[in-house]
Structure 1
Amino acid sequence: MANTRHHLDQAGITEAQWQQRWQAARWFLSADGETGKRYGNETVRVTPDGQVSIKLPVPLAHLANTAHGRYTLTSRVGFAHRGQAWRDRVEADLAVAYRIHHDPDRGRWYLTASWQQPTVQVIPLEAAQAAGMVGVDMNDDHLAAWLLDVHGNPVGDPRRFGYDLSGDAAHRDAQLRHAITGLLHYAKRAGVTAIAVENLDFTEQKTREKHGRRKRFRQLISGIPTGRLKARLLSMAAALGLAVVPVDPAYTSKWGAQHWQKPMTSPHRKPTRHDGAAIAIARRALGHRIRRRTPPPRDDQSDRRGHRSAQASPGPLGREGPRPGVPGPRTRCAPPHTAAKAGDQRAQHRPEHATAHEQHMHSP
């Protein structure tokens, strides 16, 4: 700019135009973002719908037109390039840097957003399983999630993150971002490093040739936004340092409802079959069986119908141990006061046993 001042004829501008550019080059406001702050920036805050507010310094606090010393602009902003990626970041409260500057040639003010794109890293499955996992069951109107520890036991209560897919595309995208943001924040607070989801793909399974006249079912699977959910979940989870583990969706809903919905029901907790499916998904990702152990035999405790589900562990004898000696005739072959042989079956049932024979000889 200083060199252009001495060559105005070559630049093709007047001195007044150069003066405007000189001043416009100093009319800017920039603020670096910070992860964890609301919408990723505390100084220049931009909401997902484009509302801009600036945190004023203390000497200018009297100029604020909104609460907490903030000045809200009347105009709203929009990002034509990478606007979807920007919304994903601000919904997840990830760092976004902003710069407000003036263009004197066009007579407009511009707001530029920038951020550092994280590198998606692939971690071993053992590392993803080390701190437990959050199982997620994707449905046409909500995400059902449940936290499991490393042993496959459900922890706490199930969580539900709903969304409404009616309306235009912008509304649907905002609903998905909001649901995924709540899910990721729940996983971060739980301290896990991975999320387990079903590897669903309904691109070739929602035609009439596949399901016939089952119109309601075809509408159901068509309403589940699997492609958008997975793509959005992968990008937003990578930004927060979370891994996504896809699992086989076979029988997760059926076995989850059969083996986990009823056992996890309590007077203050009413899980649905989708919550049971979330447990099944997480257990499969952790390497555990979905189905619970089989119940004991129906008739008795014999092996007629197979072994019991819980066998006695080796250890000190309890009620199965030898009975204490009681004075008096207990059996026909063992005289009284034979407490030392109370647990010796050979001495009790075989009179020819050496010890029993010796006692018979010395008995009066």
Structure 2
Amino acid sequence: MDGGLRELAAPFVAPGPSGVAIRTRLKRLTAVDEEVLRRVGAHLGALVCRDLKARCHDGLGHDAKAWAVRKRELTPVSSARWAGAITRATHEQWALARRCALTHLQGLQAGVRMLRHRLALPVGQKGSKRAPGGYRSRREWHAKARRLRVLEDRLARERAAWEAGRVHVVRGGKRLARMRHQLPAAQLTQAQWRARWEAARWFLRADGESGKQYGNETIRISPDGEVSIRLPAPLKQWANAPHGRYVLTGRVAFAHRGQEWTDRVAANRAIAYRIHHDPARARWYVTASWQKPVSQTVPLAAALADGVIGVDMNADHLAAWHLDVHGNPTGSPRRFCYDLSGTTQHRDAQLRHALTRLLNWARTCNVTAIAVEDLDFTAEKTREKHGHRKRFRQLIAGLPTGRLRARLVSMADAMGITVVAVDPAYTSKWGAQHWQKPLTSTTCRTTRHDAAAVAIARRAQGYPIRRRTAPPRTHQSDGCGHRTVQAGPDAPGREGPRRRLPGPRTRSVPPDAERTRATRTPTTVRGVRSEQEWVPDSLLLTD
């Protein structure tokens, strides 16, 4: 586009969620129940490790025949359904590792390109908003030249691994594996770390199957909360129910989406279950998940029929503003704060709480659409682009764009609210330029983030971010002559102020003041009171 601006993508309605996951706690478990769960999880976890090794060994040469061979090998030591769940889980884990390897490869390529660009510039050359300049000193240039060689070697290895189909997977998590060498810093003992490591490598997950009793034949949960597990073949001696099953003493109850879960169980529709243990709290949890058809997307015009709420995501809050159907901000801006420090569970809870308040406010405004930016900082997270701006890189890396988008779409779909995604280009800059000052008053101070929310909402509605539409090009340059609303070149006083017309518009001068003011003789002298008093005329009375 003219002026060096990139082309903006059109706004679109974000598709709804394709699945549901709910979790609850397994309570009132006996010592025998916990022992059975530990044995089953450890046994199946070992099988998963063995199958994952075989899947990684196949690499890109894996096919349906190899999948069937792996499943047949696992069936005698578990069961047919457990073997299917294990092979499917390992295949998904390999695919996830493959996607992560591609993301890492793209990050290395971006870093190498940025290093080569900055090293080619003279030392000390200033950069622009679109591209960084040269390095500040010769010493920094030399250090970055060495880092370029390191990244090039690393990129060559990763590219060779990608072409060969090799992936790197750590069951239990690489972060937890590295924590083993830093137990004092993590404030853990070796026994505590070992408990977490083993629990992370257990496998107690079964896929659902429609038509079977309660929607799952391996891990079955009845409508009244009874949990029974199909034991693997080597653990049949622990069964306390017919057909090699073990029934837990405790009962479960799903509070969130409980009625929806009950309806699926009663209809014998497929539900997948996962049982996992939290050693830090000494608690057991069960997660139920199922697929749902993607809801039909509402047309963009219908979603924006009642206005829209623009939301600008920041590091510590969501800035939102309600706009009517004409693109005018109404009311006052709202801010929904959250704290992204601490554990993953704490950050996730903070996001859910902020989004809940946002959606409740949208419902009170009778709005059925929320406009957000389609953010993606994949190319911005590289340390080579921003150099020594470490705090800025941490700020960008800490923004939960993917999690926020997934949470917002899922929660908005449950409340009947449509999410509209817009292009994030120039929203903060143009919003501050055109809306921050006009919307600031003595009682309401508009921030740059509030103005960006207005810009996001107007872009979703299809309006320009500028407050007024520019006239046609010919009118701007007077290419077709003077406009009809302008005075002609021969009109006297065309460049002076307009003549003041007396009348009711002035609210202080009577209509005939201009005619009588020039001929009226003053009856008073400044500072001297008039001796002649004003006497009102007598009323004319008629029959």
Which range, TM-score by smaller chain?
0.5 to 0.7
Corresponding residue to 2:251 among 109, 118, 137:
109
- Map 1:65-214 to 2 at 5 A: 99=224, 106-112=248-254, 113-115=258-260, 119-214=294-389
Deviations 1:52-72 (A, max 9, x none): 9xxxxxxxxxxxxxxxxxxxx
Residues in 1 aligned to 2:294 and 2:325: alpha-carbon distance in whole angstroms: 27
Alpha carbons of 1:101 and 1:280: their partners in 2 closer, same or farther (altered >3 Å)? Answer: same
Q: CA deviation at 1:289?
A: 0.8
Deviation at 1:200, TM superposition (A): 0.5
Letter in structure 1 aligned against 2:357: G
List per-residue Cα deviations over 1:41-92 (Å, max 9, x = no partner): xxxxxxx997x9xxxxxxxxxxxxxxxxxxxxxxxxxxx98xxxxxxxxxxx
CA gap 1:320/1:274 in 2 versus in 1, 3 angstroms: same
2:24–2:253 CA contact under 8 A, matched in 1: no
Percent identity for Structure 1 against Structure 2:
60
Runs (5+) with no aligned partner, structure 2:
1-22, 28-203, 206-222, 229-239, 241-246, 262-291, 487-497, 502-513, 516-543
Residue 225 of structure 1 aligns with an amino acid whose one-letter code is P
3-state SS of paired residue (1:134): strand
Aligned pair partner of 2:429 in 242, 248, 254: 254
- Aligned with 1:270: secondary structure? coil
1:74-119 C-alpha deviation (Å, 9 max, x unpaired): xxxxxx98xxxxxxxxxxxxxxxx8556989543233244526574
Partner of 1:268: 443
Q: Is the 8 A contact 1:136 1:143 kept in 2?
A: yes
Alignment partners' CA distance in 1, 2:426 and 2:311: 15
- Checking the alignment, whether the CA contact within 8 Å between 1:133 and 1:148 is kept in structure 2 is yes
Say if 2:24 and 2:252, in contact at 8 Å, map to a contact too. Answer: no
Quote the RMSD (CA, aligned, Å).
Answer: 4.0
Residues 101 and 111 in structure 1, CA contact (< 8 A), matched pair in contact too = no
In the alignment, structure 1 residue 218 sits paired with structure 2 residue 404: no
The one-letter code matched in structure 1 to 2:249 is: G
Structure 1: give runs of 5+ residues left out of the alignment.
1-47, 53-79, 82-97, 297-302, 328-364
* Aligned pairs for 1:40-55 within 5 A: none
Query: Does the 8 Å contact 1:118/1:239 carry over to 2?
Result: no
1:209 Cα deviation from its structure 2 partner: 2.0
CA distance in 2, matches of 1:305, 1:213: 50
Higher RCO (CA < 8 A, seq sep 6+): 2
CA separation of 1:283 and 1:217: change in aligned 2, threshold 3 A: same
Paired amino acid for 1:141: D
Residues 177/312 of structure 1: CA separation in 2 closer, same or farther (3 Å cut): farther
Q: Given residue 262 of structure 1, which amino acid in structure 2 is its aligned partner?
A: K
3-state SS of 1:115 partner: helix
1:230 counterpart (394, 405, 413):
405
TM-score (norm 1): 0.53
Counterparts of 1:217 and 1:118, CA distance in 2: 40
Please give the per-residue CA displacement for 1:212-266, whole angstroms capped at 9, x wherever unaligned. Answer: 2222221121121100000111111111111111111111001111111111111
Mapped to 1, the partners of 2:350 and 2:457 lie a distance apart of 24
Deviating above 4 A after TM superposition, structure 1's stretches of 4 or more consecutive aligned residues are 98-105, 116-119, 303-307, 310-313, 318-321
**Residue pair 2:319, 2:336 contacting (<8 A) in 1 also:** yes
The residue type equivalent to 1:205 in the other structure is: E
Contact 1:137 1:277 in 2 (8 A): yes
TM-score of the two chains, using structure 2 as the length reference: 0.37
Query: 1:166 aligns to what SS in structure 2?
Result: coil
Which structure is higher in helix share?
2
- Say if 2:457 is the partner of 1:282: yes
Secondary structure of 2:253's match?
A: strand
Alpha-carbon distance in 1 for matches of 2:479, 2:435? 24
Aligned mates of 1:259, 1:176 — CA distance in 2: 30
Alpha-carbon spacing, 1:197–1:306, altered in 2? closer, same or farther (3 Å) = farther
Q: After superposition, what is the alpha-carbon deviation per residue over 1:318-340, rounded to whole angstroms, capped at 9, x for unaligned?
A: 9899xxxx99xxxxxxxxxxxxx
Instruction: State the AA in 1 paired with 2:461.
Output: L
Determine the C-alpha separation between the residues in 1 that align with 2:477 and 2:248: 89
Displacement of 1:174: 0.5
In the aligned structure 2, how far is the partner of 1:118 from the partner of 1:242?
Answer: 17
Aligned length: 223
Mapping of residues 299-314 of structure 1, within 5 Å? none
Deviation of the 1:151 alpha carbon: 0.5
Alpha-carbon offset, residue 129 of structure 1: 1.8
